[in-house]
Amino acid sequence: MTLGNKIAWDDTVLPFQLDVPDIRGRIARLDGVLDAVLSQHNYPPEIEALVAEAAILTALIGQTIKLRWKLSLQIRGDGPARLIATDYFGPQEDGRRARIRAYASYDAERLEQGADPFDQIGKGYFAILIDQGEGTVPYQGITPIAGGSLAACAEAYFAQSEQLPTRFEIAFGRSQEPGQAESWRAGGVMLQHMPKTSPLKAEPEAGEPRLTTAADLLSDDDAENWSRANILLDSVEELELVGPGVPPADLLWRLFNQEEPRIHDPQNITFGCTCSEDRVRQSMSIYSARDIAHMTTEDGDVTADCQFCGAHYVLDPATLGFEAEGTHDGRG
C-alpha cells in the first residue's frame, strides 16, 4: 500500500464511547513502534504478520485496562510458529507514554512460505496475562486457537473469560511513502459492549461444547444495538484503519456519528523494553555455583540476550547465583 505523510496520530490509542448503545471502544495506530519491534529481528513475512497482528491487538486491549504494570499476550501452538509474545506496559505517570515490545519463536524449517500466517500456529492457545506488579497475584485467561485469526481468538477470549461482547477490526502490512523505504503500519478498532449488570454465561446444549459468543451474552435492545454497531464497523476500509489519510477522530465520526460518539484523551505509545543487568542477575539468583559454571563460556563469562530488544549482557560468573562470591561488577 502507498500512503501519504505521517501524522500526529501515529503510535497512539484513542479511547471513545458510544453513549446510546452503551458501547466503548478504541482506535489504534502503530507505525514507528511496529517498525522498532520488527527491526530487532529478521523474521520471515509470515512471522512478521503474526507479530504485527499481535502488537495492534495488544495496544487496543492494553489501553482498556487500568494497569499499574503489564499486560501480555501469549500465542502458543504446535505449528512452525511456536510462540508470539507481546507486552504492554502502562504509563508510570499521567501524560507518559505506554510501552510495547514483542517477539516470536518459530521453526524455520517447518514454516510454509506464502501460507496463511495464522495456519502456521497450529493447535494451541491464546492467553492474556495481567500483572499489576509487586504484591499482587498475576491473572491469566486462556482460549483455544480458533477462528482463523488472532483477532478472532481475542474476541473468543473476551466472550468466554470476561463475558464481554467484543469486536476487533484490524489491518496491517508494509507501507511506502513517496521516496522512502517500506515500513510496517497497523491500525484497528475495538468495540466492547459494557454490561449493565453481571451477565450470565449461556450454557451450551448437552453434548455440544463450544466457545461463548457475543450472541450468548446479549438480548433485546442490547443485542440490537450491538448488531447495529458491528454493521457500521463492517463499512471500514483498510486504508482508513492504518491511516494516515483519515485521523482517528474523523474515522470515528464517519462510522458512528448516529451513535453519539464521545472521545477521551489519546494514549501515546512507544517501543520499550524493561530488560536490565539487574533483572538478568535476579533471574540467575536461583542457580548454584555448579549451574553457573555450566553457563560460563570459554572466555570465562556468562552471557545473556534479551529476546525482545536484542540487548547483550556479559557478566562475571563469580557475581551470579545464590552462592555468588564477588561483587556485582558485570560488564554488560
pLDDT-derived band at 196 (thresholds 50, 70, 90) equals low
Query: How deeply is 314 buried, as exposed, middle or buried, from its count of CB atoms within 10 A (0-12, 13-18, 19+)?
Result: middle
The verdict on pTM exceeding 0.75 is yes
Evaluate if residue 331 carries a pLDDT over 60.
no
Residue 127: all three cell numbers together: 492467553
Our CA angle for 236, 241, 242, nearest 5°, is 155
Q: Higher model confidence: residue 273 or residue 326? A: 273
pLDDT value at residue 138: 84
pLDDT value at residue 230: 94
pLDDT value at residue 86: 95
Evaluate if residue 174 carries a pLDDT over 70.
yes
Provide the Cα torsion 36, 37, 40, 45; round to 10°. -110
What tens digit of pLDDT does each residue of 79-134 get? 999 999 999 998 877 778 899 999 999 999 999 988 999 999 999 999 999 988 77
pLDDT value at residue 308: 78
Partner residues linked to 173 by β-bridges? 185
- Indicate the range of 57-71, 113-127, 246-260, 276-290 predicted with least confidence: 276-290
Residue 228: all three cell numbers together: 447495529
Evaluate if residue 14 carries a pLDDT over 80.
yes
Residue 225 CB coordination number (10 Å)? 18
What tens digit of pLDDT does each residue of 33-88 get? 999 899 888 899 999 999 999 999 999 999 888 777 799 999 999 999 999 999 99
pLDDT value at residue 233: 95
Q: How far from 66 is each of 13, 92, 200, 201, 266, CA to CA, in Å?
A: 14, 11, 24, 25, 14
Taken in order of first residue, the domains within the chain and their CATH numbers are 12-196+213-225+234-271 (3.55.30.10), 277-319 (no CATH)
